[in-house]
A = this chain, B = another copy of it.
């Protein structure tokens, strides 16, 4: 689990003390989410598309319709950037200037390749497990027609960095005397109560996958 090399591409330039290059820090951010923002450029025009992913080691799997513009573009081996961001709180300082956010973000660089055969099934399971562990085993798996309609690409992570801010605001020394409330307003994300499909034919117990996260 060595760290990624720091180069001009992945280096955290602004406030370098917030930068991280080691796999555990970066992968913890990736593993705590399942949607990233995928960036690619066609003739200099950038596109940023929110996309579900699954991580397996140093590989990110992305999937979508075979006809997806993004997946067609990525298969050409274009350079790709995938960014995953958690917003953990508003940092409210005494000065406008020192307002900030608490956040954890990971920026991934790589190139994509089309995934086929046995790896394709595995990749779809990895993506499903990233979203809701255990769900893959509970549902009807993909048939040949569905597999044909789905493209999967693998992004080998060539370079990456993370940027993390935590803790209270940091104000200028003289501003601590001002009668202005300062602190952090945390932002939480949670699952609400499961909503059964109104078209369900019979009443079924909640599955283990849902119970596991609903009881958190």
Known contacts A14-B65, A97-B150, A124-B96; A175/B37 CB under 8 A: no
A99: min CB distance to chain B, Å: 7
Q: Cβ of A28 < 8 Å from any Cβ of B?
A: no
Q: Cβ of A2 < 8 Å from any Cβ of B?
A: no
Asked whether, in the complex, the Cβ of A69 is within 8 Å of the Cβ of B13, the reply is yes
> How many chain copies?
2
Which chain B residue lies CB-closest to A131? B90
Q: Which 6 A-B pairs have the closest CB atoms?
A: A186-B192, A41-B41, A39-B48, A37-B37, A39-B46, A48-B83
| Sample (26) of A-B pairs whose CB atoms are under 8 Å apart | A14-B69, A35-B101, A37-B37, A38-B48, A39-B81, A46-B79, A47-B107, A49-B107, A50-B103, A50-B105, A94-B139, A95-B139, A95-B146, A96-B136, A96-B146, A99-B128, A99-B139, A138-B181, A176-B200, A181-B200, A183-B194, A183-B200, A185-B214, A186-B193, A187-B191, A190-B190
